[in-house]
Structure 1
Amino acid sequence: MVHGTHNAVEDPRNEDVLVYVNGELLPRNDAKISVFDSGYLVGDGVWEGLRLHGGVLVFWDEHLDRLFQGAKAIGMDLKMSRHQIREVVWKTLDANDMKDGVHVRVMFTRGIKKTPSQDPRLTVSGPNLVIIAEYKQADPESRNRGVKLHTSSVRRGSPDYLDPRLNCHSKIHEVQALIQALEAGADEALMLDVNGFVSTCNATNFFMVKNGEVWTSTGQYCMNGITRAKVIDLCLQEKIPCFEKNFSLYDVYSADEAFVTGSFGGITPVTEIDGRVISTSVPGNMAQRLQELYTQAVENAVARSKI
């Protein structure tokens, strides 16, 4: 049985969702894109995953900042303004009559290629935009049971060849890391940076707790996580000692607690790493406190958006 931070409760309504593809709303099974799409051919594109909660797209501005920063970093003109993107996201949500408990995936690729090639000059269309909105609630079992991590031999890339902060379609190294973890009997992969320090997981950001302090990586080699940033901010607001620093597996194995963060699952406790028990209490005291603070931060964001 699949277990991990992206487990979702099954919802039959997803069988009939309409998917946005370049201006059209298509039934799920009819939503298709050309095999000459640059995202399919070479992973050339950027994306965002965010949540609709209480009728509000939570932390929308932060997600759009990251989307446009990523597009600029790869020299890709989205050909749409922030307002236009918001309009088509809401067009998709309204067409599906969605108000709450929804995960939205917004995906841009550079466009259709004349022929299979990496060369962006062979792109013969504008960007392709696909929006998939689904009813997705994180399976409470993940939070109640926690996840097990395995340290992969696949490292997080250096910023000079594939900056891990870039939320791009090229995810094969993360898939490789996850496969190693699954083969080792874990749920997800813990990844080190090019210097051997703990960086992040294959799809979430990693935190550990030691003597009342919260540690996470420097941010130089990890995903530019929106939830990660929110947790750091919450620690600062609540005067919880929180450090972005280099630390190794030596530190992790003696942690009092560990947890991972992501837009879909929020804050998920970690119970084991490389077969070593980190915590038998799920969640640990710090993870539980931060879960409560994060839930309140989401509710506050929703309330502010409705003013």
Structure 2
Amino acid sequence: MSTPDEFAWASPQLKEQLLRDPAAVLKDRGLNIPPEIPPAVVNEFVRILHLLWVDGKVVPIEQFHIDPSDAGLLFGRGVWESTKTVNGVPWLWPLHIDRMRQTAALLGIDLPAERLPTDKQVHEYVRSLTNQDVVIRLNATAGRPGKPGMVWMSAAVQPAPLESLKLQTCRSPVHKGQAYLTLKTFQYATRLQIGQTAHRHGFDTALLLDEDDNLLEASHANIFLRFATGWATPKANGGLLPGTVRQVLISHSPQPITERAIPVAELKDAQEIFVTNSNVGIVPVTQIDDRMFPIGNETIKIKHWIEPPQPPGVQYRFRENQPV
């Protein structure tokens, strides 16, 4: 049973709710936990969903405030990055920080490196919450005239591993070169809507096509295809978000990967397909529209090569709220 000291950071009202029924509090935050989860882990989940990192300090969400005039809030002038942790350390963190600062510069957002957490600071934040691994999200806003924006980090329970995915092709609503809609900015709702539409049609997420019927990416992940001539992935020429896992694969994969235009008609020639992002790693694709694909040996080998080993101990995973 929980004690009041465990929730010393909470407001009196929230503390009372947590002492009475922490599972109900988690449900209110969108996390439904099974009854067999140990109470100590439930309390860790409470901290995960209620404590933020804000400019170097851990702050309860009830104390987090953003200026109503902040351009990130009013106009979507904000950038973010997200990745899973492994033993509390954020995966591929230097690549995420580099991309975040590049995106901020492209959008005219002043984001000094010293305001962003190092991997050591992320690890300290995560371990102040839990012994579980999590998905962390780092956010930064543009601010308003005379005041810099906010920088904060949140954590979420890591999703359960996905064995495979089914994709539905659709035309991308975003034209090439639209940075706010292509990159990781606060104007991200279009991507969510595309994935949700595919899900309503019985698929896991969408596979986006450009105006010339070339493959771009999944709603939230890059795509790789094995042809008789080798592995290929669509070019990052302004129409897709170049991911951090994609960057590592192109540079260092034991299987050479070519960047090129891939017409949707070439799907019939694909032998293996997978998608990647830093929240889920590599996930095989077994269906696109009405076409089926096997989970190939090379996909499994690449997955084992790039993904870090699982940490020791029991890690609790959930299938809720995991867009890919």
Contact 1:92 1:133 in 2 (8 A): no
User: How do 1:72-151 and structure 2 match up within 5 A?
Assistant: 72-81=105-114, 85-86=117-118, 89-90=122-123, 92-96=125-129, 98=131, 101-111=133-143, 113=144, 123-136=145-158, 138-140=159-161, 142-143=162-163, 146-151=164-169
Q: From 40, 63, 66, give the equivalent of 2:73.
A: 40
Q: Does 1:62 align with 2:95?
A: yes
**Partner SS state of residue 171, structure 2:** coil
- Letter of the 1:277 counterpart: M
* Identity between Structure 1 and Structure 2 (%): 25
Distance in 1 (CA, whole Å) between partners of 2:126 and 2:88 is 10
- Letter of the 2:233 counterpart: T
Partner of 1:245: 260
Distance in 1 (CA, whole Å) between partners of 2:175 and 2:110 is 25
Partner of 1:15: 46
TM-fit CA distance, 1:129: 1.1
- Letter of the 2:46 counterpart: E
**Partner SS state of residue 232, structure 1:** helix
Q: Residues 286 and 92 from structure 1, CA distance in 2 versus in 1: closer, same or farther, beyond 3 angstroms?
A: same
**Partner SS state of residue 291, structure 1:** helix
- Letter of the 2:230 counterpart: E
Distance in 2 (CA, whole Å) between partners of 1:163 and 1:16 is 32
- Letter of the 2:150 counterpart: N
Partner of 2:185: 168
Distance in 2 (CA, whole Å) between partners of 1:201 and 1:289 is 22
Q: Does 1:256 align with 2:258?
A: no
Contact 2:180 2:187 in 1 (8 A): no
Q: Residues 241 and 234 from structure 1, CA distance in 2 versus in 1: closer, same or farther, beyond 3 angstroms?
A: same
Partner of 2:303: 291
TM-score by length of 2: 0.73
TM-fit CA distance, 1:23: 5.1
TM-fit CA distance, 1:31: 4.2
Contact 2:181 2:187 in 1 (8 A): no
Distance in 1 (CA, whole Å) between partners of 2:107 and 2:114 is 17
1:236-277 per-residue CA deviation (whole Å, 9 max, x = no partner) reads xx2x24211111111113321211000011000111111221
Distance in 1 (CA, whole Å) between partners of 2:234 and 2:128 is 41
Q: Does 1:203 align with 2:220?
A: yes
Partner of 1:118: none
Partner of 1:231: 249
Q: Residues 271 and 67 from structure 1, CA distance in 2 versus in 1: closer, same or farther, beyond 3 angstroms?
A: same
TM-score by length of 1: 0.77
Distance in 2 (CA, whole Å) between partners of 1:231 and 1:23 is 32
Relative contact order: is structure 1 or structure 2 higher (C-alpha 8 Å, sep ≥ 6)? 1
1:202-221 per-residue CA deviation (whole Å, 9 max, x = no partner) reads 10001111226211101212
TM-fit CA distance, 1:44: 0.8
Distance in 1 (CA, whole Å) between partners of 2:45 and 2:66 is 20
**Partner SS state of residue 179, structure 2:** coil
Q: Residues 91 and 180 from structure 1, CA distance in 2 versus in 1: closer, same or farther, beyond 3 angstroms?
A: same
Contact 2:168 2:198 in 1 (8 A): yes
1:187-215 per-residue CA deviation (whole Å, 9 max, x = no partner) reads 11101124321011110001111226211
**Partner SS state of residue 229, structure 1:** helix
Distance in 1 (CA, whole Å) between partners of 2:111 and 2:174 is 27
TM-fit CA distance, 1:29: 5.4
Contact 1:156 1:199 in 2 (8 A): no
- Letter of the 2:299 counterpart: A
Partner of 1:53: 86
1:60-119 per-residue CA deviation (whole Å, 9 max, x = no partner) reads 22111111111111111124526x532754553353255x622211100112x5xxxxxx
TM-fit CA distance, 1:36: 3.9
Query: Unpaired segments of 5 or more residues in structure 2?
Result: 1-30, 34-40, 310-324
Superposition RMSD in Å: 2.7
- Letter of the 2:99 counterpart: R
- Higher Cα radius of gyration: 2
Query: Unpaired segments of 5 or more residues in structure 1?
Result: 1-7, 114-122, 300-307
Count residues with an aligned counterpart: 267
TM-fit CA distance, 1:9: 10
Distance in 1 (CA, whole Å) between partners of 2:236 and 2:148 is 33
Contact 1:152 1:180 in 2 (8 A): no
